[in-house]
């Protein structure tokens, strides 16, 4: 047994002696790699990628004070490496893409004295390389709106092309800009900024074609003219402010009748509309009514009044540019009272009576000598007395004269006494 134990003891003692010489072990998962890049870029332009080692719990762990404690490992092929910068806890590389495409770049960190050990942190980023000019269109208006995606008609728009060129690849190039504003207007400029005024509402697409040219000397072909292009577009929604609401509807109605009110909006749809009946014309408070989406400039609302009284339609509307309020007063009558129903027949009856009286007066004046004595009044006069008497408090003098002349002569109160002479 003793000879068998000797080799084991010797191995344990050997490992114990070598243990202090082993590299320090850093627990994985305590650190993260944050990658920052200025991609995308055009072919031939330089791309920069920076990797920073940070604590995974937002910096609560202390990083080692030794600046040479970590080593960054990069894989960037097929991008061509043009430069590399190392710092304490970060590393930056610069690379150039000679062909268009999306290229993954990976990086991991190990301790400096054990490059073959398990990585402390790792990360990956995909770089986009294109053969076209890189940039975007920016559209602004000389007024601030709470809805940045909408713009006002008849107000000057500023459209700018912002070129993305962090490595100054196009610093020696000359540019030409061809604009198409989507409403039939086109122009060509050498300035990347233009000003335009849309007079119509709607959605328009601004298209821009950029051409860059510059001279370049190559070992194979010598001096030549290089050219790159780029196509860009931006969608614009032109709208008008909501200037007001036109309300078309009756101001008087009876109870239990259906009332329809038409709202014409002086502004661009789509709109959000809200209304409510109140005793007085007061603005609507928040959440006082349920909003309705309206996709046109007209909207009909209906209501049936059950109680008589004075009411006010309080209306609120909003589009993506502005908002407005409007009011409409309504007087509701009970169903038993019909002032409008009585007004027309009464006026018609009075007009017919006056026409009849004038007709009788003219007829009497023209045929006064031809009138026949009649103890009974004419049928028309009798009917007028019966039907129209309650409506006339005082009859005109012409009418009384007609009645007086229509009667026969009254007999004398006494008979004359005959006398005889003897």
Minimal CA–CA distance to 73: which of 40, 102, 105?
105
Task: Extract the tokens encoding 188.
Answer: 């060509």
Minimal CA–CA distance to 236: which of 175, 320, 302?
320
Contact (CB, 8 A) for 317 and 245? yes
Contact (CB, 8 A) for 408 and 374? yes
Looking at residue 13, its pLDDT comes to 37
Minimal CA–CA distance to 112: which of 94, 86, 92?
86
Q: How many Cα neighbours within 13 Å face the side chain of 327? A: 10
Contact (CB, 8 A) for 317 and 265? yes
Prediction pTM value:
0.59
Same fold for the domain at 135-239 and the one at 245-333?
yes
Looking at residue 241, its pLDDT comes to 82
Looking at residue 17, its pLDDT comes to 37
Angle at which helices 339-366 and 379-388 pack, to 10 degrees?
150
Contact (CB, 8 A) for 54 and 31? yes
End-to-end CA distance of the chain: 210
Task: Extract the tokens encoding 415.
Answer: 């008979």
Looking at residue 366, its pLDDT comes to 67
Which residues are 217's β-sheet partners? 223
* DSSP summary character for residue 288: S
Looking at residue 65, its pLDDT comes to 60
Contact (CB, 8 A) for 134 and 163? yes
Report pLDDT digits (tens) over 373-400. Answer: 444 555 544 544 544 444 444 444 544 4
Looking at residue 144, its pLDDT comes to 58
Minimal CA–CA distance to 72: which of 56, 50, 39, 94?
50
C-alpha span between 96 and 129 (Å, rounded): 9
In the chain, which residues have pLDDT < 70? 1-29, 58-68, 143-149, 221, 336-346, 366-422
* DSSP summary character for residue 19: G
User: Is CATH 2.60.40.2950 correct for 245-333?
Assistant: yes
Residue 255 CA: distances (Å) to CA of 98, 114, 249, 269: 82, 92, 16, 34
User: Is CATH 2.60.40.10 correct for 135-239?
Assistant: yes
Domain ranges within the chain, ordered by starting residue:
28-130, 135-239, 245-333, 343-406
At 70, is the secondary structure helix, strand, or coil?
strand
* Dihedral, 377, 380, 383, 388 alpha carbons, nearest 10: -110
The H or E element spanning position 383 is helix 379-388
Phi-psi region of 296 (alpha: psi -120 to 50; beta: other; left: phi over 0): beta
Domain 28-130: CATH architecture, name and number where available = Sandwich (2.60)
Looking at residue 68, its pLDDT comes to 66
Which residues are 261's β-sheet partners? 301
């Amino acid at each position: 047994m003793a000879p068998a134990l000797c080799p084991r003891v010797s191995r344990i003692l050997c490992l114990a002696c070598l243990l202090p010489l082993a590299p320090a072990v850093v627990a994985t998962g305590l650190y993260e790699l944050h990658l920052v890049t200025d991609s995308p870029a055009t072919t031939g332009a330089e791309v920069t990628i920076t990797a920073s080692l940070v604590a995974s719990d937002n910096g609560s762990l202390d990083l080692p004070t030794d600046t040479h404690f970590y080593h960054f490992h990069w894989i960037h092929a097929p991008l061509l490496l043009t430069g590399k910068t190392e710092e304490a806890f970060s590393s930056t590389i610069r690379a150039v893409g000679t062909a268009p495409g999306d290229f993954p770049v990976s990086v991991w960190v190990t301790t400096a004295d054990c490059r073959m050990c398990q990585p402390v942190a790792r990360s990956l980023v995909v770089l986009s390389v294109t053969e076209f000019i890189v940039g975007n269109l920016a559209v602004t208006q000389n007024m601030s709106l709470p809805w940045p995606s909408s713009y006002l008609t008849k107000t000057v728009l500023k459209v700018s092309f912002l070129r993305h060129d962090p490595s100054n690849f196009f610093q020696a190039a000359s540019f030409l800009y061809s604009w198409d504003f989507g409403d039939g207007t086109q122009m060509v400029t050498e300035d990347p900024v233009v000003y335009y005024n849309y007079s119509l509402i709607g959605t328009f697409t601004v298209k821009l074609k950029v051409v860059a040219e510059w001279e370049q000397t190559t070992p194979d072909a010598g001096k030549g003219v290089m050219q790159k292009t780029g196509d860009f577009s931006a969608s614009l929604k032109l709208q008008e402010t909501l200037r007001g609401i036109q309300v078309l509807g009756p101001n008087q109605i009876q109870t239990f009748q259906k009332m329809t009110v038409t709202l014409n909006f002086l502004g661009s749809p789509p709109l959000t509309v809200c209304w409510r009946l109140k005793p007085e014309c007061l603005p609507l408070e928040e959440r006082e009514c349920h909003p309705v989406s309206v996709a046109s400039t007209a909207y009909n609302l209906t209501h049936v009044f059950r109680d008589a009284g004075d009411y006010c339609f309080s209306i609120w509307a909003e589009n993506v540019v502005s908002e407005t309020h409007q009011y409409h007063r309504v007087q509701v009558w009970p169903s038993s009272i019909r002032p409008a129903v009585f007004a027309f027949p009464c006026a018609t009856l009075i007009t017919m009576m006056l026409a009849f009286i004038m007709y009788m007066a003219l007829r009497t004046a023209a045929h006064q000598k031809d009138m026949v004595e009649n103890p009974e009044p004419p049928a028309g006069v009798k009917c007028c007395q019966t039907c129209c008497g309650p409506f006339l408090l005082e009859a005109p003098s012409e009418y009384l004269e007609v009645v007086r002349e229509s009667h026969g002569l009254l007999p004398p109160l006494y008979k004359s006494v005959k006398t005889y002479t003897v």
